[in-house]
Amino acid sequence: MGPTAGGPGISANCSERNRLYYRESHVSKKRINFSLGGCKQCEACVSIAPDCFEIDENTGMPFLKKECADEDVVRELCAYCPEDCIEMEDMEEE
């Protein structure tokens, strides 16, 4: 079953393998940058945070199925992703 037009964007974006996937979410005052441009499909992110990441069966690429609310988990993701696909940065107060 393919992605449906107008449906949730995560699966649709991840099915486009050559397209840079980018998502922002907010944890406290941090911003998570998730970019699959260099992803080597090692599945470390799924192992570390199975509640948040899943592998798309069609593309073999991970996608965020739920935002990661645990900052310690996000830090671990940042540390273990071998391709630096997951980064966390401080958000400036505006």
For residue 43, give the nearest of 89, 91, 2, 83 by alpha carbon: 83
Question: Is-contact 45 55, C-beta < 8 A?
Answer: no
Shortest CB 5 distance to ligand SF4, Å: 26
77 in Cβ contact with 33 (< 8 Å) = no
Task: Give how far Cα 7 sits from Cα of 12, 20, 56, 68, Å.
Answer: 8, 19, 16, 21
Among 14, 32, 39, 88, binds ligand SF4 (CB under 6 A): 39
Residue 49 binds to ligand SF4 (criterion: CB under 6 A): no
Q: CA–CA separation, 77 vs 68, rounded Å?
A: 10
Stretch that binds ligand SF4, among 10-18, 25-33, 63-71, 78-86 (CB under 6 A): 78-86
43 binds ligand SF4 (CB under 6 A): yes
Type of residue numbered 70: D
Residues 7-36 that bind ligand SF4 (CB under 6 A): none
Residue 40 interacting with ligand SF4 (CB under 6 A): yes
Which of 8/60 has CB closer to ligand SF4? Answer: 60
Residues lying near ligand SF4 in the complex (CB under 6 A): 39-45, 62, 81-83, 85
